[in-house]
Structure 1
Amino acid sequence: MHWDDLKIFLAVAREESLSGAGKRLKLDPATAGRRIARLEEELGATLFAKSPQGYAPTEAGQRLLPHAELAEQAIFSAEEDIRGQSGQLSGQIRLGAPDGVANFLLPQVCSAIVERNPDLDVQIVALPRLFNLSRREADMAITVSPPTAGRLTVQKVSDYRLHLAASQRYLDRAPPIERTADLRGHRMIGYIPDMIFDKELDYLGELGIDRVSLASNSVAVQFNWIRQGGGLGIVHDFALPSAKGVRKVLEGAISLTRTFYLVRHVDDTRLERMNRFATALTDGLRREIARLEGVA
């Protein structure tokens, strides 16, 4: 077996299609299909069952999968040993994150890491959903809930705080808000209810608010609505310093605490390069959250 064929096998298994594997590997799908056929002929077994839903590993494919992953880890380890001689991080690391942390924390934290490691490329995938690390959608991910299944390691990064907030422009023209009962009749900004991908993000539901006049699955869109005077919404304390004129409302009565976790594939904990990046990332996030919450 050749590593190049196993690499294509892993990509097809993770993407569940030849086109997805080809896009991941920058390879023509027809070439990927021929390489899979060659591997199947060499092994004397069918590795994928094709259906309208895509390519699913057969029993033989499932047996090959852990061996291919071990080969992948061996290649990563060899590359790391060679690159690690410089004492700096290098190569590419892809980080998945909800767009709140991706917009307001990761840019400055990751910029500082890359400044110290100029041969390192960091990619931030900012999507309001969970990431599948087993399919290598990302090398590691920031989450707001610890996953309970899969071959994953979970590390607490930091708690963070959120408060109800609005722009002074909105508050100047809206009825006064002195207690939680006064929120009735005010325009609320938040998530699209049926697109909340994690129960920890159901902030308004926790407050008993069932109508959201301006809703988006993006924290950045919600934040901009609040900043422009669209209404009231829950805001990360670490985002407040970037919005002049936005202030907390009912700070003593409405205060939420959530937690960020760093989630990694268990096999990657054997890679010193990934461990060093994870340490730099978590240390940087903790410092930045403490700094920005102190300003808010």
Structure 2
Amino acid sequence: MKYLDKNQNPFFIDGKSKAFIWDDTRAFLAVARLGTLTAAAELLQVGIATLSRRVERLENALGAPLFIRLQSGYQLTEEGRGLVEKAETIEQAVFSLLSSGFNKSTEISGKVRLATTENLANEIILPALPEFQSKFPELAIELVTDTQLANLHRHDADLAIRMVRPTQGHVTFRQIGRLEFGLYDGKNKTNAEINLETKFVMWDEQYRHLPGGEWVEKQLRGRLPSLTVTSLASMIAATQAGLGLAVLPHFIAQKAGLSCIRSDMGIEQPIYLVIQADLAHSRRVRTVADFLVDVINKNQSIFERGE
């Protein structure tokens, strides 16, 4: 067993009772993910003073500062960043224990509403769903792929796969993968030269924050793009039609038969699993969450290279 604190005690053990204190781990992860005591306290539904004490207790046990306290919020130290993955492993183990219950023979049943993007649903999740449903025939999945972002806090969905880090709402989340991007053309060009005559297809102004938006703007140098779009499907169709180059996820662009001009652009997007906080211990929700983590993990090479 790998020990984590200076006294060779498992993470995290109270000095008097020698009892596992899960709340301190939860406090650490909530602050690490949300960046402020206020947001983390709201998520965990505890007072700010209580949350602060739990973080300090964990720091004292490990003998290292986990956060830099700034006026704008809490920033992870090097020790804190190194602890996140270990803490998430403990989190998953606890969730698995709580969701398993004492009666193993109890059938997992009911409905789980999952929100995600249409491309992830069609290309990654749906092909893996038949095997999952054969194991859990009484568990029904409601798939939401609307372009409008589902609001978990408003109970539009029970859990979601998102490409944007949640900043509000009563949810718990963690990164489970990453999506990498390349520069694509509709023609068979492997080394297209980019110059002032190069045409680009890019996101409409309201979506310029999406991956590739800033990169394309730098290449345009004040020029207008040949076309702006508001959907990924339109961007792919425009690139196929030869209207310009576009920055696209590898696994989607290659599936569409586009030609990769630049594969290693250093542009990537995290993939987050987001769950309603009050459903985090639900057996049916945790079962679907575990399935999604496994599917994303198995397809990580496709997300990185499109192969």
TM-score by length of 1: 0.59
Q: Which runs of 5+ in 2 are unaligned?
A: 1-44, 46-99
State the Cα distance separating 1:111 from its structure 2 match: 4.2
Equivalent position to 2:245, from 227, 232, 254 = 232
State the Cα distance separating 1:248 from its structure 2 match: 1.2
For 1:116 and 1:224, the matched residues in 2 are separated by 38
State the Cα distance separating 1:85 from its structure 2 match: 4.0
State the Cα distance separating 1:202 from its structure 2 match: 4.6
> Percent identity of the aligned residues?
21
Query: 1:124 maps to what in 2?
Result: 143
Equivalent position to 1:167, from 165, 179, 186 = 186
Structural mapping, 1:117-196, within 5 Å: 117-168=136-187, 171=189, 177-178=192-193, 180=194, 182=195, 184-194=196-206, 196=207
Over 3 Å counting, the alpha-carbon distance change for 1:131 and 1:292 in structure 2 is closer
State the Cα distance separating 1:206 from its structure 2 match: 3.4
- Give runs of ≥4 in structure 1 deviating > 6 Å: none
For 2:115 and 2:169, the matched residues in 1 are separated by 17
For 2:235 and 2:260, the matched residues in 1 are separated by 15
Over 3 Å counting, the alpha-carbon distance change for 1:293 and 1:240 in structure 2 is farther
Deviations 1:53-91 (A, max 9, x none): xxxxxxxxxxxxx9xxxxxxxxxxxxx98x98454x433
Equivalent position to 1:264, from 275, 298, 301 = 275
Matched, 1:283 2:280: no
Equivalent position to 1:215, from 222, 228, 231 = 228
State the Cα distance separating 1:113 from its structure 2 match: 2.4
Structure 1 or 2: larger helix share?
1
Over 3 Å counting, the alpha-carbon distance change for 1:202 and 1:293 in structure 2 is closer
- Which residue identity does 1:159 align to in structure 2? R
Over 3 Å counting, the alpha-carbon distance change for 1:222 and 1:112 in structure 2 is farther
For 1:232 and 1:84, the matched residues in 2 are separated by 54
Over 3 Å counting, the alpha-carbon distance change for 1:258 and 1:295 in structure 2 is closer
Matched, 1:92 2:111: yes
Over 3 Å counting, the alpha-carbon distance change for 1:242 and 1:268 in structure 2 is same
For 1:125 and 1:159, the matched residues in 2 are separated by 21
For 1:187 and 1:249, the matched residues in 2 are separated by 13
Contact 1:97/1:142 (<8 A) preserved: yes
Determine helix, strand or coil for the equivalent of 2:164.
Answer: coil
Determine helix, strand or coil for the equivalent of 1:154.
Answer: strand
Query: 1:30 maps to what in 2?
Result: none
Determine helix, strand or coil for the equivalent of 1:105.
Answer: helix
Equivalent position to 2:261, from 242, 249, 263 = 249
For 2:130 and 2:230, the matched residues in 1 are separated by 26
- Which residue identity does 1:258 align to in structure 2? Q
Equivalent position to 1:206, from 206, 210, 215 = 215
For 1:235 and 1:190, the matched residues in 2 are separated by 10
Over 3 Å counting, the alpha-carbon distance change for 1:229 and 1:248 in structure 2 is same
Q: Which runs of 5+ in 1 are unaligned?
A: 1-65, 67-79
State the Cα distance separating 1:124 from its structure 2 match: 2.3
For 1:101 and 1:264, the matched residues in 2 are separated by 17
Deviations 1:231-262 (A, max 9, x none): 21111112244223x1211335x341110101
Query: 2:73 maps to what in 1?
Result: none
Contact 2:124/2:295 (<8 A) preserved: no
TM-score by length of 2: 0.57
Over 3 Å counting, the alpha-carbon distance change for 1:262 and 1:204 in structure 2 is same
State the Cα distance separating 1:125 from its structure 2 match: 1.7
For 1:224 and 1:255, the matched residues in 2 are separated by 24
For 1:229 and 1:103, the matched residues in 2 are separated by 25
